[in-house]
């Protein structure tokens, strides 16, 4: 296991992300962080820009630290008229594609993808999450 998420599941989830990216013809990245936001796993597809992995790591970090998916975090901040600056953490992001890893009600961290459209990043992150959280 890497931290508390089995590496085998992370690798299968990574394969699923890259399979989806191939379908869409997009270069993507995938990241997993622990409960403290520390990087557990990060990878980018061949020819993917470095910034895509950097943003994936920040999305995963945000989901882990804030304990909510980045789409929810973004929408809640918009509703409360908050900005990222209000949180005082330059690693937080409102970019969509980060999801919380929770298994049987227990919090394990966050994971994220980047490099596709906003909608597809969210959809693909949830595909990867299902693989990681499946018993």
Residue 16 lies in a domain: yes
Which domain, by its residues, includes 36? 7-133
Residue 86 CB partners (closer than 8 Å, separation 6+): 77
Mean pLDDT of the chain: 95
Asked if the structure places residue 20 within a domain, the reply is: yes
Per-residue pLDDT band for 4 (boundaries 50, 70, 90) equals confident
Split into its structural domains, the chain has a count of 1
**Starting at the edge strand that comes first in sequence, how are the strands of the sheet with 29-33 ordered?**
39-44, 29-33, 106-114, 98-103
Tell me 115's DSSP state. S
Question: Is residue 1 in a domain?
Answer: no
Q: Is residue 78 part of a domain?
A: yes
The CATH number given to whatever domain includes residue 116 is 3.30.450.150
Helices 118-133 and 7-24: crossing angle, nearest 10°? 150
The answer to the question of residue 15 being in a domain is: yes
Residue with tokens 């895509």: 52
- Whether 2 is in a domain gets the answer no
Model pLDDT for residues 50-86, shown as the tens digit of each residue:
999 999 999 999 999 999 999 999 999 999 999 999 9
């Amino acid at each position: 296991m890497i931290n508390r998420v089995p590496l085998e599941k992370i690798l299968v989830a990574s394969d699923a992300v890259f399979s989806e990216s191939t379908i869409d013809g997009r270069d993507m990245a995938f990241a997993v962080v622990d409960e403290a936001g520390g990087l557990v796993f990060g990878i980018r597809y061949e020819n993917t820009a470095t910034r895509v992995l950097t943003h994936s790591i920040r999305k995963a970090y945000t989901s882990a630290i804030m304990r909510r998916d980045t789409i929810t975090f973004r929408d809640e901040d918009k509703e409360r008229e908050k900005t990222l600056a209000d949180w005082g953490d330059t690693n937080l992001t409102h970019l969509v594609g980060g999801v919380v890893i929770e298994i049987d009600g227990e919090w394990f961290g966050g994971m994220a993808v980047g490099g596709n459209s906003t909608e597809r990043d969210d959809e693909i992150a949830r595909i990867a999450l299902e693989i990681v959280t499946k018993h």
